[in-house]
Structure 1
Amino acid sequence: MRLMLSIYLRRYPFSLLTVLLITALSLLPIGSVEIAKDVPFADKWTHMVMYGILTLVIWVEYLRHHRRIQRSRLILFAFIAPIAMSGLMELLQAYATTYRSGEWLDLAANSTGVCLGTAIGYGLFLFRRKTAKPAPEEQAS
């Protein structure tokens, strides 16, 4: 268990930091943060951007450490996990805090951010695959 944690800390430090930051922003009583009142749905845009960034950071760190992607791992860790985390945060806000409220629209905005982050991450993967130099064993064939 300790070895796995050490590997994750080395390979995914920014992903873990982003998860901790989103968790803190979601659950701690930070006080009244004034979100731009003149921007419609500013709160939902904020949710979408936070989860989009989280997903993109996971993709970038994964691509940095893996030459070949395992689609099932990316689906689990860069798509399902952020959406599940989002749902958990909304439930915790609704039932475990007295100063926050969970909203279905926040979950929808978070999920939209995850989808956008996944689309950008997949685009980065395709770009890397197109521009990558072939491995030495691939050049010999």
Structure 2
Amino acid sequence: MQKYIKIIGWFIVILYLTLTPAGDIPKLSLLSIPYFDKVVHFTMYFVMSMLLAGYFHQFKKYSNQKILLINALLLIFIGGLLEILQYELPINRDCSWGDFAANTTGAITGTLIYLYWLKNTFVGKWLS
């Protein structure tokens, strides 16, 4: 269970930030910076992809290409589903192609950085 705590915890953060009703989001000055929300989306999926890549890297049967494919497909699906839920649920949030693109870019970038730079470092070992 210990191996899943970071992944589950971060997924809860993503769910909370994505599905919190618009009226419950604090009015912060950072949110008025142009495209700041895209940076947040990118970062959420960047971190999640690194955690998942660390998890899959433990299993020696998964090649880097397979881990990239699994992460990309899984996180693109989750990102798309959550964008659709923002539109469908009565939480006064919008579905955005820009947010979906930021999610996807964060997921792919995080996976690539983990696999080709961090996996054999202290950070990579902490992520797995």
TM-score by length of 2: 0.77
Aligned length: 116
Match of 1:83 among 71, 76, 83: 76
Query: Structure with the greater relative contact order (CA < 8 A, sep ≥ 6): 1 or 2?
Result: 2
- Residue 45, structure 1, aligned to residue 39, structure 2: yes
Q: CA deviation at 1:36?
A: 1.8
Aligned residue number for residue 20 of structure 2: 28
Is 1:59 aligned to residue 49 of structure 2?
no
Percent identity (aligned): 26
Pick from 2, 7, 18 the counterpart of residue 15 of structure 1.
7
C-alpha contact (below 8 Å) 1:19/1:54 kept by paired residues: yes
Q: Deviations over 1:75-124 (max 9, x none)?
A: 22x22111111001100001113421111110001101011101111123
How large is the RMSD of aligned CA atoms in angstroms?
2.1
Larger Rg: 1
2:94 is aligned with 1:70:
no
User: Unaligned regions of 5+ residues in structure 2, if any?
Assistant: 122-128
Does 1:105 pair with 2:98? yes
